[in-house]
Structure 1
Amino acid sequence: MTSPALELSGIDMHYGYVGALAGIDFHVNPGEVVGLLGDNGAGKSTLLKVMSGAHRPSGGTIRVHGKEVQFHSPSDSADAGIQMVYQDLALVDPQDISTNLSIGREILRKGPLGWLGFVDRKAMRKRSEAELDRLGVRTAPMTRPVEMLSGGQRQVVALARGAIRVSGEANGVLLLDEPTAALGYEQTRQVEALIRRMAAQGVAIVLVTHNLPLCSEVADRVVVLNRGSKVADVAVADTEPDHIVGWITGARASQFA
């Protein structure tokens, strides 16, 4: 049996005397999309920060592909094959698409210029085009500055950058924080299609969103948090939107009560 790409067991998070998470169990398998849902203050962002290495939990264990790990920083999480796509996208607006896709893994020019740190922009563009082709992504030319892109195109570039880093044999994990916030209908559909393609290539995806129709379209399973506790963990095909809303608001009893 294949181990989950990411598994959290008994995660507690305390800020002084305030408890933010209480004994959370969570997992996502390779090629699976899990919607992480809950109202404001439910603990979604805190749990996402634990997964991304931004916060160290007060208790519990984290496993990546069955191996127990400890994250002391986001770089530890990234080294383990976990990438976070933040709501603000964290793109470098004046730089072109290929440069944004290549941040942290630039190709240096050969010979003395490479020794001096000069990058090979032509090689980076060629690699970026091949990587986007593999993901099935069609966007603007590689030389176009990100600041000239539409909101949907910017989101696709940010998602693609994360997917490039976690796809392949490693079957990594992509954490998405409100990926369709402030996007229109057509742009949202572009993002939906990209999420499905990434999952089909084996990437495990955790999706935090308030957009329940988006979750219904792309998620295989939903996990609902309420006041720092997990109240539901169910396949999308086995539940209804009204039930999900009930768990989010607290009107429906926890599955684990």
Structure 2
Amino acid sequence: MSQTKQSMGPTAPSPHLRVSDIHKRFGGVHALKGVNFEVARGEVMALVGDNGAGKSTLMKVLAGAHTADEGQFFIDEEAVSVNSPHDASDLGIQIVYQDLALCENLDVAANLCLGAEPIKPGFSFLPRFLRPLDDLEMEVRAQEAIDRLQVKTLKSVRAKVGGLSGGQRQAIAIARAVGADGSVVMLDEPTAALGVAQTRQVLDVVKRLRDTNHAVVYISHNMRDIFEVADRICVLRHGANVATWNKNDVTPDQIVSAMTRGLDKEAQNAA
């Protein structure tokens, strides 16, 4: 199979985030082999592939957790450097991992402001670790973030995260990423192990992200969820691009076939 990117469907919108010819090696393992990837604002780009295809590695490269060995990054077609999670965050690139990294003993407001807690005015003479937190401002910020994503099942931002459902926790983790001024939100298997009602809640939040002009990267093995929320679908196999399709121009069976066997000659010629 050719490792050259195959493109299908109508012309894509102008990308907000684009990476070109990304390579990543771990010793003798060539995990990413010249991958090209892009996502526009107001778009959900699904990233799919079998286990070992390079999805998680690409996601971690985009988030700055891994440094690419070769390749270029662009934000709104301006070349940028992403060599650390701090670089990615400064560029508005946020990632929500499967484990969510929430503090179950804290309430929703504290989780949403974690690491950027507002301080009460008038205490600048104290060391920062001794300054009292502004709980009211924290609550206001948290409520604004929840309202922005229309998380209607959450009754109070003072609820302890440990008592929330899986869907509510996923929504909190997404709201925290958005609240950190993220323009690109990457979601790693956000509906894994969730029930039907909780999955519906998360998918609604993903759609809301698109409606609020975020660029969304959505990793999942669930084809039903992908075809509900994605605008385009990028397939990786053995660390290389197979194809990028408009959702309306492809079927789930074609996606699965591309993930496991690559493209046949007829499909490559049509691309």
Matched, 1:154 2:169: yes
Cα pair distance change 1:173/1:88, threshold 3 Å: same
Q: CA deviation at 1:206?
A: 0.4
TM-score, structure 2 length as denominator?
0.89
**C-alpha distance in 2, partners of 1:77/1:125?**
27
The answer to whether 1:88 aligns with 2:102 is no
Q: Aligned Cα RMSD in Å?
A: 1.8
Counterpart in the other structure of 1:127: 141
**Which has the bigger relative contact order, CA under 8 A and spacing at least 6?**
2
Contact 2:145–2:178 at 8 Å: present in 1 too? no
Deviations 1:34-73 (A, max 9, x none): 0000000000011001100011111110112222122221
Question: Match for 1:73 among 84, 89, 92?
Answer: 84
1:137 is matched with which residue? Answer: 151
Paired residues of 1:176 and 1:206 also in contact (CA < 8 A): yes
Q: Is the 8 A contact 1:166 1:203 kept in 2?
A: no
Matched position secondary structure for 2:180? helix
Show CA shifts across 1:78-112 (max 9, x none). Answer: 11100000100000110000011111221101112
1:180 paired residue number: 191
Aligned to 1:4: 15
Asked whether the equivalents of residues 242 and 263 of structure 2 are also in contact (C-alpha less than 8 Å), the reply is no
Q: State the identity as a percent.
A: 43
Q: Pick from 240, 247, 251 the counterpart of residue 229 of structure 1.
A: 240
Aligned residue pair count: 253
Tell me which residue corresponds to 2:252: 241
Q: Aligned equivalents of 1:256 and 1:184: distance in 2?
A: 38
- The structural deviation recorded for 1:114 is 8.1
How far is the alpha carbon of 1:252 from its aligned partner?
A: 3.7
Q: Distance in 2 between matches of 1:162 and 1:214?
A: 21
Give 4+ residue runs of structure 1 displaced > 6 Å after superposition.
none
TM superposition score normalised by structure 1: 0.93
Q: What is the distance in 2 between the residues matched to 1:130 and 1:163?
A: 11
Cα deviation digits, residues 179-235 of structure 1 (max 9, x gap):
011100110000111100111110000011111111000000000001011101010
**Is the CA contact 1:97–1:145 (under 8 Å) kept in the aligned structure 2?**
yes
